[in-house]
């Protein structure tokens, strides 16, 4: 059986939390596709100013290995910014496409979260969720998370990063962050993590019943 759950949305809306919980509940493997872009973004930071030239960025993506996704410094603001700059390059997206599609199409079902899963990677997904929250709420969550991880950073900087990353993700030409016509939107601004997960699971169960 194939059953694809596509989860998209802007940074810090709660996609990751929902994707992990849904994967655990339905016993599906989960791919956080942001990690692929973060992996390439980290290489770009270590490389040189020419990293964002399409041919060079493409090679960095081709060189990405599973072990690169296990690095424990992929969640820093610097890597997030580099990832969103790398993600505008169509050649990079092209390289990462097959891996994501193969993951989605495995037997037994799969959960993928990112920006373009329901629109470009798996337009035929069985369930599409679009997770949102206001920019301010998302910045507060990201700020708390970074602070808990011991990072010295001001709220103003985090807010600025969230807004500029949203802009870059939404306005790029290659697979921009947009809501698919058939996606189910969950605004987590005033929901607890548990409640948001509950709403997602109920919706997926409904789709399961109507297969």
Q: Which residues bind ligand DC (CB under 6 A)?
A: 11, 33-34, 37-38, 80, 83-84, 87, 114-116, 165, 169
Q: Which of 197, 189, 174, 163 is nearest to 22 (CA)?
A: 197
User: At closest approach, how far in Å is the CB of 178 from ligand DC?
Assistant: 12
Nearer to ligand DC, 64 or 116 (CB): 116
User: At closest approach, how far in Å is the CB of 25 from ligand DC?
Assistant: 21
Residues 148, 149, 154, 155, CA torsion sign? negative
Please answer whether residues 199 and 206 qualify as being in contact, where contact means their C-beta atoms are separated by less than 8 angstroms.
no
Nearer to ligand DC, 147 or 205 (CB): 147
Nearer to ligand DC, 161 or 184 (CB): 161
Q: Which of 152, 164, 166 is nearest to 76 (CA)?
A: 152
User: At closest approach, how far in Å is the CB of 13 from ligand DC?
Assistant: 9
Residues in the chain: 211
Tokens of 113: 């979260």
Tokens of 2: 């194939």
Nearer to ligand DC, 40 or 204 (CB): 40
User: At closest approach, how far in Å is the CB of 14 from ligand DC?
Assistant: 11
């Amino acid at each position: 059986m194939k059953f694809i759950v596509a989860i998209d949305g802007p940074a810090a809306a709660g996609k990751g939390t929902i994707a992990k919980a849904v994967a655990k509940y339905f016993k599906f493997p989960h791919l956080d596709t942001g990690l692929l872009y973060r992996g390439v973004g980290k290489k770009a930071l270590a490389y040189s100013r020419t990293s964002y030239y399409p041919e060079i960025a493409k090679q960095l993506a081709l060189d990405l290995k599973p072990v690169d996704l296990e690095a424990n410094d992929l969640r820093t603001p610097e890597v997030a910014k580099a990832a969103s700059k790398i993600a505008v390059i169509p050649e990079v997206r092209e390289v990462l496409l097959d891996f994501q599609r193969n993951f989605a199409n495995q037997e037994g079902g799969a959960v993928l979260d990112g920006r373009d899963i329901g629109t470009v990677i798996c337009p035929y997904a069985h369930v599409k969720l679009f997770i949102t929250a206001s920019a301010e709420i998302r910045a507060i969550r990201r700020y708390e998370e970074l602070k808990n991880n011991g990072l010295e950073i001001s709220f103003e900087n985090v807010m600025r990063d969230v807004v500029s990353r949203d802009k870059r993700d939404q306005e790029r030409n290659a697979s921009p962050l947009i809501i698919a016509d058939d996606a189910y939107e969950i605004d987590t601004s005033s929901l607890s993590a548990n409640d948001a997960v509950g709403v997602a699971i109920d919706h997926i169960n409904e789709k399961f019943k109507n297969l």
